[in-house]
Amino acid sequence: MAELAVRNLRESILRNSLTTVGISVGVASLVAMLSLGIGLQQLAGRRLQKSGLFDTVVVTSRRDLRGFNRDQEENGPAPAESPALNESARQQIAQLLNVLEAYPDIRFITELRYEDKPYLTMMAGLPFSAKNNDAFDGMQGTFFSSDTAPEVILQKSFAAQLLGRTPKAGSEEANVADLAKPLLGKLLTMKYAERTPTPATDTAGKKDLSSASSSETSNPAGTAYSVLSREATLQIVGVCDLDPDSMRGQARARIFMPLKLAQNLHVMQPSDFRDTTNVANGMPAYTTVEVHVKSPTQVQAVEDAIKKMGFNTFSIVDATRSLRQFFAVLDLFLGIFGSLALAVASIGIINTLVMAILERRREIGIMKAIGASDGDVKGLFFAEAGVMGVFGGFVGVALGWAIGRVINLGTNVYLKRQHFPPEQIWFVPWWLVLGAIGFAIVVSLLSGLYPASRAARLDPVQALRYE
């Protein structure tokens, strides 16, 4: 029957082609809309994944008295009784189920010398895993060669400052490549305060601290420390276009060094002052520990576990949920618009087939007279609808794919003009291709249902009477 259907369709090629084009346009709009919806969702997902916002738990100590939310302060242990957020706590957190890594946030204000001029800015340690962060999209130079390499990456605005270029108001942002060229490979000298444990005897002998002697008895390992002024030479390896530390607001750094290096330098941290009188074991206490979780779905569980340890936590996992909901609604709406186009196309199929019945009345009569059953006639019209659906589906998917691609290209041209990196905002998954073709066939068959049964019911004597 399909064979017969195809040849019948070829007979009124123009009308059937137009009908098929109608289906194609319906399918195409469906595919284009959904592929853009899916593409946008994936883009957002990728961005968020790379930004590390949704799989990150920020841990702070209650001891610093600025919990991210007040409930915790009332429910958990009192700040004075809560544990210190030190290296052993960090290791404990890193051991938790589904935790990829837990690293301290190390940042400090430092004086840097570049070509004999001093600059004061905030330095932060970056874990090696930050390499894949989208903040480094469009970076000039390279990421750190190792986790302890004496290398730094500059933020664009700081690079401009080092070069003495102050951006004028209203002028376009400086080109990162121009800024990087004279700086890459150059050396900076950093002045910083190192915190070194002082041997207990030395401390007691030299400073004669009465308070220190009491804690000395409970833990003789490191009850006191010295602060030494040091210098280190660092090489500029990269200048980044975006701001890797944008989340930090006021405290954001404009120059970055490998985290391990920062730890090894034992730079004095603000929390060191706070816990000067309290740290008994000589371990440095961290202001903040950032925890990376395997996937956003496990964030809640990890957060709960860390809270149980007596720390304050913060994550934006709830935001992902509402974001997903938003995309589900977006996809639904885009799908509805696409389906409307397909509905119009299906009316076209019904119209074409009903017209075909009128036109081919006699043919149907002949077929019945020579022995075609109702089922044969119905099957033939049904097959014609199906063939139009198959063709329409395939052409439509190709068309939709092309439309999505064109929109994507157009968007990227726009993005480029606005100095953004290109993005894939359009994605056609396999299930959409198969689903759209299947949908086109199903819609066509449903549209063929009425004309086919009408053709099957035709009275052969009536149909043959008109000459």
| Least distance to other proteins, CB of residue 457, Å | 9
- d(C-alpha 257, C-alpha 243), whole Å: 14
**Residue 117 CB coordination number (10 Å):** 9
Closer of 239 and 458 to other proteins (Cβ)? 458
| Least distance to other proteins, CB of residue 368, Å | 7
Closer of 156 and 368 to other proteins (Cβ)? 368
Alpha helices in 268-373 (DSSP H): 270-274, 299-308, 317-359, 361-369
Show contacts with other proteins in window 359-378 (CB under 8 A).
Answer: 362-363, 365-376
| Least distance to other proteins, CB of residue 467, Å | 6
- The yes or no reply on residue 170 touching other proteins (CB under 8 A) is no
Measured in residues, the chain has a length of 467
Closer of 4 and 193 to other proteins (Cβ)? 4
| Least distance to other proteins, CB of residue 460, Å | 5
Show contacts with other proteins in window 436-465 (CB under 8 A).
Answer: 460-461, 464
- d(C-alpha 377, C-alpha 382), whole Å: 8
Closer of 13 and 329 to other proteins (Cβ)? 13
Q: Are strands 117-126 and 255-258 parallel, antiparallel or unpaired?
A: parallel
Show contacts with other proteins in window 374-413 (CB under 8 A).
Answer: 374-376
Only one of the segments 4-12, 26-34, 57-65, 192-200 lies at the binding site for other proteins (rule: CB under 8 A); that segment is: 4-12
- Measured in degrees and rounded to the nearest 5, phi and psi for residue 96 equal -60, 155
| Least distance to other proteins, CB of residue 365, Å | 8
- d(C-alpha 159, C-alpha 241), whole Å: 10
- Residue 438 corresponds to which tokens in the numbers above? 């299947």
Contact at 8 Å (CB) between 84 and 61?
A: yes
Q: Where are the beta strands (DSSP E) in 51-178?
A: 56-60, 99-104, 107-114, 117-126, 140-141, 151-155
Q: CA nearest 159: which of 178, 179, 141, 177?
A: 179
- The mark string for 334-363 relative to other proteins (x by CB under 8 A, - otherwise) is ----------------------------xx
- d(C-alpha 245, C-alpha 252), whole Å: 5
- d(C-alpha 423, C-alpha 408), whole Å: 8
| Least distance to other proteins, CB of residue 387, Å | 15
| Least distance to other proteins, CB of residue 458, Å | 12
Q: Are strands 225-240 and 151-155 parallel, antiparallel or unpaired?
A: parallel
- Residue 463 corresponds to which tokens in the numbers above? 């149909």
- State the number of binding residues for other proteins (CB under 8 A): 22
- The yes or no reply on residue 4 touching other proteins (CB under 8 A) is yes
Closer of 93 and 364 to other proteins (Cβ)? 364
3-state SS class at 155: strand
Closer of 273 and 466 to other proteins (Cβ)? 466
- The yes or no reply on residue 14 touching other proteins (CB under 8 A) is no
Q: CA nearest 272: which of 209, 220, 225?
A: 225
Only one of the segments 7-15, 116-124, 147-155, 387-395 lies at the binding site for other proteins (rule: CB under 8 A); that segment is: 7-15
Closer of 373 and 424 to other proteins (Cβ)? 373
| Least distance to other proteins, CB of residue 381, Å | 15
Q: CA nearest 9: which of 317, 385, 418, 395?
A: 385
Show contacts with other proteins in window 24-53 (CB under 8 A).
Answer: none
- Residue 5 corresponds to which tokens in the numbers above? 């259907």
Closer of 442 and 464 to other proteins (Cβ)? 464
| Least distance to other proteins, CB of residue 2, Å | 12
Closer of 139 and 353 to other proteins (Cβ)? 353
- d(C-alpha 13, C-alpha 356), whole Å: 12
Closer of 294 and 465 to other proteins (Cβ)? 465
Binding site for other proteins (CB under 8 A): 4, 7-8, 11, 362-363, 365-376, 460-461, 464, 467
